[in-house]
A and B are shown apart, each in its own frame.
Chain A
């Protein structure tokens, strides 16, 4: 039994399930668009203000949308027993966790990243900042998913884990947020922004290395009860 085949089975099913529950698929995206588009209504349409806020709003909206989607990562598998089957499969648990996070990112983080330039343009961000918006989100949203998955794993056994999940993961999201908005700010001001991006890369390498182990351990604790 090859590992990649087992992981392929998991990935395929998670994507299939995501496309069957369209509501869950679209929710974070709608949330992302709504939050971001409410800001100009709240603070007024002055383009100076919007330009300053733009990068931050895109990132905060993306972060909250990601957090909203995180709770569902393991919940249905936990409730119907699929998680037990996954944990008892010959595939190492950290690989299973990694695959599930990848599937989840493909249906949440990636669409958000692709939609973000639209929001950025809406806030009047100059065109030289758009690559920064996309690149920071492309590196940043997987990191958000990895961190969020640790929290989701820890809270999946609780009946009302939502608030606790936010409290657990939001502080860990902050470095990702600061680097992301920092890069966009730099790009808006025509300064080099690659240093921020590289630091984000460092975080992703760290996350990909350690988060799967932490997610696996958190799932073991939750399933053990």
Chain B
């Protein structure tokens, strides 16, 4: 473990419908690391992400943030966490800009309009800022959510299938963003079925499933 332990879990066990998804799982994620959780469908990747983020309560074991149990430091943990699940948290009746302002407004209150617009531009949504999200495609909605990454100051990113519905070039740009984030001391925990072509020392994989 490095001097600045970020996220670590120990003895994590989770059962669903009398089926063991993972048992006595332990890993740690430190500054500058990217952890990809892989495994076949139904192997518990999303469940693991939700357990670590604190959304799922149905598990045994312990999750630590900076060496302390998450339950004891929940506000600090939430302030440091950016979570993106299967559900994007993008409201269809609101515009891309409003959605982004809200999602980041929960974490930051110093957002300028220029920052928001430039983040939307980076995810190729320039010109779509004030269009309600129900008029955008699935991939564009995903990009509205991904634009948060460009504004985030949280060190820990938990991303569940962030590349879904994103085109090839977009994926390459996102991979670069993740590496940049890790290089500047961030942490990324993610799942994807996409073949990651990261040329980065801090990139690790954790394989779930395959019969415990």
**Residues of A at under 8 Å CB distance from B?**
1-2, 5-6, 9-10, 13, 16-17, 20-21, 76, 79-82, 84-92, 220-221, 223-225
Question: Chain B interface secondary structure, helix, strand, loop or mixed?
Answer: loop
- If A88-B55, A224-B57 touch, does A9 touch B102 (CB 8 Å cutoff)? yes
Give the CA-CA distance A225 to B108 in the complex, in Å.
Answer: 29
Q: Which residues of B contact A225 (CB under 8 A)?
A: 56, 58
Contact A84 B109 (CB under 8 A): no
Question: Chain A interface secondary structure, helix, strand, loop or mixed?
Answer: helix
Give the contacts of B53-106 with A (CB-CB under 8 A). 53-58, 75, 78-79, 81, 83, 85-94, 98, 101-103, 105-106
Q: Which residues of B contact A1 (CB under 8 A)?
A: 79, 107-109
Contact B89 A85 (CB under 8 A): yes
Closest CB-CB distance, B144 to chain A, in whole Å? Answer: 12
Contact B106 A224 (CB under 8 A): no
Contact B98 A16 (CB under 8 A): yes
Sampled A-B contacts (8; CB under 8 Å)? A5-B105, A6-B106, A9-B106, A80-B88, A84-B83, A88-B78, A223-B55, A224-B55
Contact B109 A6 (CB under 8 A): yes
**Residues of B at under 8 Å CB distance from A?**
53-58, 75, 78-79, 81, 83, 85-94, 98, 101-103, 105-109
Give which listed residue, A9, A20, A21, A82, contacts B89 with CB less than 8 A: A82
Q: Which residues of B contact A82 (CB under 8 A)?
A: 89, 91
- If A90-B106, A90-B107 touch, does A81 touch B94 (CB 8 Å cutoff)? no
Residue in chain B with minimal CB distance to A14: B102
Q: Which residues of B contact A88 (CB under 8 A)?
A: 53-55, 78, 81, 83
